[in-house]
Amino acid sequence: LGHVFASGDVFGIDPDMITFAKGITSGYFPLGGVIISERLLEELRRSNHPDALFGHGLTYTSHPIGCAVALKNLDLLEEGVLQHTREIAPYFQAQLRTLEELPLVGEVRGVGLIAAVELVADKATKAPWGKPAALGALVNGFLQQNGVISRNMGDAIAFCPPLIITEAQIDAVIDAFERSLAAALPQVHPQG
């Protein structure tokens, strides 16, 4: 999304609690944590013994290597990765929206550099094709043949590109998606 802890900047929400994990190390090492508001901390203290600490535990917390990886990852984010993400995300979303005109595309939805393209056999009725997830698996297979690593979630194709993606790479993904739909179309509608 281009924002650390996007709840406030992107969604206008001021949470009492935020949990985090993979993103703090970019998935290179397991680490997780919880951030709680002062208001919630005081309420927890009042509900326990006055000298009690906020006791919690996570499977992946406080490991020295994980903490070192997280600190290095935060250094890298400060080198402009998030700014680049904020700048490139509108282009990514706009290019994905062009797919809505294509056959088999029921809806494009997303925010920042996260998106999904819902696939349908019939645009008017949004009817699926065959068994659930069959169209998603078909198009995903063609995408991989066309050099795009993606995954289908049912009959939707999920896109979560790296934060350093370029406009040229986005264009290549869109082109590969269009070619993948063209390859799938004869199987979905054999008579054209």
CA angle 9, 115, 33 (to 5 degrees): 50
Task: Please classify residue 32 by burial: count the beta carbons closer than 10 Å to its beta carbon, then call 0-12 exposed, 13-18 middle and 19+ buried.
Answer: middle
Tokens matching residue 57 = 């535990």
Tally of CB atoms within 10 A around 156: 23
Structure tokens at 25: 């190390």
**Domain regions of the chain by residue span:** 17-80, 91-188
**Domain 91-188 coded CATH 3.90.1150.10:** yes
- Is residue 184 within 8 Å of residue 135, measured between CB atoms? yes
Inter-residue contact 21 to 31 (CB < 8 Å): yes
What are the per-10-residue average pLDDT scores of the chain (192 residues)? 66 84 89 87 78 67 89 90 93 98 95 95 88 92 96 95 96 98 91 66
pLDDT reported for residue 176: 98
CB atoms within 10 A of CB 131: 9
Beta bridge partners of 79: none
Q: What's the CA gap between 90 and 111, in Å, rounded? A: 9
